Amino acid sequence: MNEVGNFLAEAFCRQLAGLVTPEAIRAVEDSASPGELWRTLDDSGFADALLPEAAGGAGLDLAQAFPLVLAAGEYCVPLPFAETMVARSMLAAHGADVPAGAAIVLAGPSAIIPCGRLAGYALVDRDGVPTLVAAGGSGSDLFRTGAATELDEGEVLATLPRDPDAVLLAAAAVSAALMAGAMARVLEMSLRYAGERQQFGRSLGKFQAIQQQLAVLAEQVLSTQVAARSAFTGSAFDPIRVAAAKCRANEAATQVCNIAHAIHGAIGVTAEFDLQLYTRRIKQWQLAFGSESYWGARLGQARIAAAAGTTADFLRRHLATGSE
The SS3 assignment for 143 reads: coil
What is the mean predicted confidence (pLDDT) over 79-83?
A: 98
The rounded distance, in Å, linking the Cα atoms of 158 and 285 is: 27
Provide the greatest CA pair distance for the chain: 64
Query: String of b and e for 290-321 (b: at least 16 CB within 10 Å)?
Result: bbbebbbebbeebeeeeeeeeeeebeeebbee
Q: Are 79 and 37 in contact (CB under 8 A)?
A: yes
pLDDT band, very low/low/confident/very high, at 3 (cuts 50, 70, 90): low
pLDDT of residue 1: 45
Over the stretch 144-165, which tens digit does the pLDDT of each residue have?
999 999 999 999 999 999 999 9
Residues 6+ apart with CB under 8 A from 67: 1, 5, 6, 8, 9, 12
**Does residue 285 have a pLDDT over 80?**
yes
- Exposure of 4 by Cβ count < 10 A (0-12 exposed, 13-18 middle, 19+ buried)? middle
Kindly state the average pLDDT of the residues 83-95.
Answer: 97
Question: Structural domains in the chain?
Answer: 3-164 (1.10.540.10), 167-318 (1.20.140.10)
CA distance 116 to 94: 24
Dihedral of alpha carbons 77, 82, 83, 88, sign: positive
**Of the spans 2-6, 51-55, 75-79, which averages the highest pLDDT?**
75-79
pTM: 0.95
C-alpha torsion 49→50→56→58, nearest 10: 60
Q: Calculate mean pLDDT across residues 208-233.
A: 97
- Considering the chain, what is the average pLDDT of its residues? 94
Reported as a pLDDT band with limits 50, 70 and 90, residue 324 is very low
Q: What is the mean pLDDT of residues 247-262?
A: 98
Strand partners, 106: 123
Contact 299, 244 (CB under 8 A): yes
